[in-house]
Amino acid sequence: MDIPNVASQFSAGEGGGMRKNPTLLCAPVMADSVDKMHLDVSKAKASGADLVEIRLDSLKTFNPSSHLPTLINNRPLPLLFTYRPNWEGGMYEGDDNTRFHALRLAMELGADYIDIELKVANQFYDFIRGKTYDKTKVIVSSHNYQQTPSVEDLGDLVARIQATRADIVKIATTALEITDVARMFQIMVHSQVPFIGLVMGDRGLISRILCAKFGGYLTFGTLESGVVSAPGQPTLKDLLHLYNLRQVGPDTKVFGIIGKPVGHSKSPTLFNEAFKSLGINGVYVFLLVDDLAKFLSTYSSTDFVGFSVTIPHKEAAVTCCDEVDPVAKSIGAVNCIIRRPTDGKLIGGTVVSPLAGKLFVVIGAGGAGKALAYGAKEKGARVVIANRTYDRARELADLIGGDALALADLDNYHPEDGMILANTTSIGMQPKVDETPVSKHALKYYSLVFDAVYTPKMTRLLTEAEESGATVVTGLEMFLGQAYGQFEKYTGMPEIVRCWFTDPRSRTVSSALLHAPASFKLPLNGEGLSLGRNAVSAVKELLPDSAQGHLAAVCSWADDVGYTHNYRWSQPLHYETVMIPMPINMSVSLQLFTTIQCNSNRNSTPLHVGFLGDLGGNTITVRWYRRKTNLHHVWDDMIIESALKTFYGSDLSTMIQAIQSNITLCTQLYSLSKLVYASLIEYYTIYIFHSRYASESISLACKFAYRNATPGSTLEDEYFLSRLPIVEKRLAQAGVRLAAILNRIFTSKTRIAQS
C-alpha cells in the first residue's frame, strides 16, 4: 500500500524570517523583590519576550507608591500587572480594596496592561468610578483549576467577560484530556475580541503553542524551567527555539508524538529543527494522549497531518487507522500515522529498524519489540522473545516463528556465545535509571547489546554491557532511523532529507534544494570533479565557452539568474543561517555563493555576512545621497561605484590595479576562489569555514556597515571615506587566513585522491 505524499501541503519558508502571527509572548515574573523583578524584566527582553507579567502577589514586601513608579518608569518592555488573590490561584491573602488601589495606581502611572478577575471585575470598575485610562488595556480573566467546560459554557463565559467592558478576554482552564484543548481552540478561532485562551497542565501544552495558529492574543513562556505562574507553562526558550513560535501561522501543519508518557521524547527537537532547516511550514509537538481513538477523531482536521506513535498506543493505532500497510498489519503495531490530505483518512505504517544477527534476543513483546523482532526475522535471525509475562512472549514468538522465555529466566540463558540482545522496554528509562532488564554477569555472552531507551543515552544496561566487552548501540540510532522514515512519509521529501538526519553537518541545507527542478543536479561529495588533477583545469572544464576560461566572467551568474522566472526557486541558495561564536551568539545570514569571490567587486564587501533580523541589511531602508535604496545594496554596489567615479575617473582597470596592490595576496586568493566555487557544495558545511571567515566578516559589518546606518538615514561620502582603508586592510587579513585554510583543505583532499 502506498503511503500518501503530503508534500504539496507545505509552503517553504525561511526558518528565521518574519513572524507569521501576531500572538504576543509574555514572560511571567514572580520574584520576591522589586530589584529581582528588574533583573528578570531585562532577562525577558534579552530572551525575546514581547511583554512581561509582573506578579505583584509574589513580592514579600510591596509598597505601591514607591515600587510601582520604579517598575513602570523606563521599562524596557510593556508590562502586565497582576495581583492574584489566593482564591484564584495566586498568593495574595489580603482584602480586595488594597489590590484595587495598587492596580488603579498602576493604570494612573501608565501601565500597559492590568489583569483583574471576572469574579470582582464589576467591583473594580466601581472602585475606579468607571474611569478609563487610555494607556492601559484591561484583561478580565477567569481561571478554572478543575476542568475545561463545554463549548457552550465557554461561549457563555466569553459573553460574561465582554459584558464587564474588558479590553481583552482571558480564560484559563485545566485539561483532563488533551481533547479538552480542542474546545478552547474552537472558541479562540471564532472570537471577535482579543482573546487569551490557555489550557493548563501537561495535557494542555499544545494550547500554549498552537494558540499562535488559531489567533490567540498572547501566550506565556517562563524564564526558567519549572518556575511557572500556572501549570504546564513552557519556557521562553522552548517556545522560540524548539517550537519556532514566531513561524507558526494559520496555515502551519501540525505533527506530534503520541504517547503516555511522552515528555522524555527527543522527537520535537529533531523534527522542528528539520522543519526549520528545510523550510517546511510545520510544527511538531508533544501529545500526551490517554484515549487514542478519541484524540484522532477530535483532531480530525487535515491541518493535523502526521503523528509518531509510541508506548502504549502502537497496538491500538492499528484499529484506529482507516488503512494499515502490510508490515504494520503483520506485526500488529503502528508507529507512524499520516492523515491523507485528499480525504482525511488515517494511514498507519511502521518504520522498522531491522537488526540482523545470530541468535537475537528481544526483551519486550510490545509494539517496539514486535517491530524489532519482525525486522530481525526478515533478515534471517533466530529470534527469541523475553518478556515479564511469558504468555505475551509466547504469543509474539508464535507470530514471527521464534522462541520464547520469561524475562526472569534470561540471566541463565546462554545457549551460545556472541548473541545479540535488544531491549525494547522502558526498563532503565528516566527517572528509574538504576534499573536493568538483565544482570551484568549474563552480558558476557553477547557480542552486541542494543537499548531502545535513549534517555539517558547510556543506560545501565549499555554501560554494563560495554564493561563486559560487548559492542553497544544506543537508542539514538534507532530513533534517528525511525525519525527519518517518518519524516519522509510526512513530507515526501527526496533523498537529501536522509543526509540531514544522518550527517549533522548537512542540517543547514537550504530549502531551495527541495524545490529545484528535477533536472537540477548538484555535485554533492565532489561527484563530477577530479580532485586529483590540476584544480584550475578541473574548474575550466566546468566553465561555458563564453567565459573564455575566466571564472570572473560567470561568478555572479547565480545572483543574476535568481531573479529570472526559471531560477526563482534558487534564491534561498544564496544564504545560510548559522550561529557564529562571538561574545554574544548571533544568528547571521551567510551568503554562500558570493562571499568569497573577491575577484568580483560587488561581492567583496561586508554585509554578505549580516544579521538574520534584517537579512544582511536588505530590510534597512536608507538613502545613498539622493537615491533611496537599502543598506545591503549600498555595500554591494554603490560605495564601489562612487569610489570608481571619485578616485579612479570611472576607469575600472585602474581601480583593479589599485586594489591588487593594496590587498595582500589578492592573486592567491583569486586563484583559490576558483577552487572554492567549483567545490563549494562539498565544503560549505565545514565548520572552520563558517566560524573563521564568517566571524571576521560579521565583525566588519558591525564595526563599519551597520554603524550609524539607521533606517531612513542618508549616507554620503563621510560614511564610506573613513571606512574604505580599514575595510581593505581587514579584508586582506581575512583573505590571507582564508587562503591558508583553503590551501590546507585542498592539499589534504588532493593527497587523499592521489593515494
Domain encompassing residue 384? 359-473
Average pLDDT over the chain reads 77
Question: How far apart, in whole angstroms, are the C-alpha atoms of residue 199 and residue 205?
Answer: 7
My answer on whether 620 and 603 are in the same domain is yes
Q: Residue 519 contacts by C-beta under 8 Å, 6 or more apart in sequence?
A: none
Collapsing DSSP to helix, strand or coil, 634 comes out as helix
CATH number of the domain residue 652 falls in: 1.10.575.10
The x, y and z cell numbers of residue 441, run together, are 554477569
My answer on whether 262 and 233 are in the same domain is no
- Reference 10, options 262, 341, 245; nearest CA is 341
My answer on whether 425 and 333 are in the same domain is no
Question: How far apart, in whole angstroms, are the C-alpha atoms of residue 180 and residue 199?
Answer: 8
Q: How many residues does the chain have?
A: 755
What is the rounded (10 degree) CA torsion for 496, 498, 499, 502? 170
User: According to the model, what pLDDT value does residue 375 have?
Assistant: 66
Collapsing DSSP to helix, strand or coil, 151 comes out as helix
CATH number of the domain residue 321 falls in: 3.40.50.10860
DSSP notation for 680-719 = HHHHTT-HHIIIIIHHHHHHHIIIIISTT--TT-EE-HHH
Q: Answer whether residue 184 shows pLDDT above 90.
A: yes
Residue pLDDT, tens place only, 477-528? 566 666 666 666 666 654 445 545 554 434 433 333 333 333 333 333 333 3
Residue pLDDT, tens place only, 92-140? 999 999 999 999 999 999 999 999 999 999 999 999 986 778 899 999 9
Stretch 739-752: mean pLDDT, rounded?
A: 43
My answer on whether 259 and 375 are in the same domain is no
My answer on whether 237 and 285 are in the same domain is no
The x, y and z cell numbers of residue 193, run together, are 475580541
Q: Identify whether 448 is part of a domain.
A: yes
User: According to the model, what pLDDT value does residue 622 have?
Assistant: 83
Q: Domain boundary residue among 222, 244, 266?
A: 244
The answer to whether the CB of 240 falls within 8 A of the CB of 25 is yes
My answer on whether 256 and 365 are in the same domain is no
- Reference 399, options 421, 355, 367; nearest CA is 367
Q: Identify whether 1 is part of a domain.
A: no
Q: Identify whether 660 is part of a domain.
A: yes
Q: Answer whether residue 166 shows pLDDT above 80.
A: yes
Task: Name residue, grid cell 528509562.
Answer: 429
> pLDDT band at 189, cuts 50/70/90?
very high
> pLDDT band at 691, cuts 50/70/90?
very low
Stretch 346-361: mean pLDDT, rounded?
A: 72
CATH number of the domain residue 457 falls in: 3.40.50.720
My answer on whether 216 and 100 are in the same domain is yes
The sheet carrying 576-580 orders its strands as: 576-580, 586-590, 609-611
Q: Identify whether 531 is part of a domain.
A: no
Q: Identify whether 298 is part of a domain.
A: yes
My answer on whether 239 and 266 are in the same domain is no
Top pLDDT among 416 and 556 is at: 416
Residue pLDDT, tens place only, 191-233? 999 999 999 999 999 999 999 999 999 999 999 988 888 888 9
| CA R_g for the chain | 31
How many domains is the chain built from? 4
> pLDDT band at 656, cuts 50/70/90?
confident
Q: Identify whether 466 is part of a domain.
A: yes
Q: Domain boundary residue among 434, 456, 473?
A: 473
The answer to whether the CB of 196 falls within 8 A of the CB of 214 is no
User: According to the model, what pLDDT value does residue 718 have?
Assistant: 53
Tell me what percent of the residues of the chain surpass a pLDDT of 90. Answer: 45
How many CB atoms within 10 Å of residue 219? 23
CATH number of the domain residue 156 falls in: 3.20.20.70
Question: How far apart, in whole angstroms, are the C-alpha atoms of residue 608 and residue 594?
Answer: 7
Residue pLDDT, tens place only, 309-339? 988 898 999 999 999 988 788 878 898 999 9
Omega before 268 within 30 of 0, i.e. cis: no
The x, y and z cell numbers of residue 433, run together, are 535509571
Residue pLDDT, tens place only, 617-648? 777 888 887 788 888 878 777 877 887 787 77
My answer on whether 233 and 260 are in the same domain is no
Q: Identify whether 500 is part of a domain.
A: no
The answer to whether the CB of 188 falls within 8 A of the CB of 211 is yes
* Separation of CA 165 from chain center: 39
Residue pLDDT, tens place only, 434-446? 999 999 999 999 9
Catalytic residue IDs: 314
> pLDDT band at 30, cuts 50/70/90?
very high
Question: How far apart, in whole angstroms, are the C-alpha atoms of residue 452 and residue 447?
Answer: 17
The answer to whether the CB of 732 falls within 8 A of the CB of 664 is yes
The x, y and z cell numbers of residue 173, run together, are 482552564
Q: Domain boundary residue among 206, 226, 244?
A: 244
Stretch 675-697: mean pLDDT, rounded?
A: 41
My answer on whether 327 and 417 are in the same domain is no
User: Which of 111-115, 398-402, 517-521, 655-659 shows the lowest per-residue confidence on average (mean pLDDT)?
Assistant: 517-521
Q: Answer whether residue 2 shows pLDDT above 50.
A: no
My answer on whether 288 and 394 are in the same domain is no
The answer to whether the CB of 621 falls within 8 A of the CB of 713 is no
* Cα within 13 Å of Cα(339), Cβ side: 18
Q: Residue 319 contacts by C-beta under 8 Å, 6 or more apart in sequence?
A: 293
Q: Identify whether 614 is part of a domain.
A: yes
My answer on whether 238 and 286 are in the same domain is no
> pLDDT band at 89, cuts 50/70/90?
very high
Q: Which residues pair with 222 in a beta bridge?
A: 235
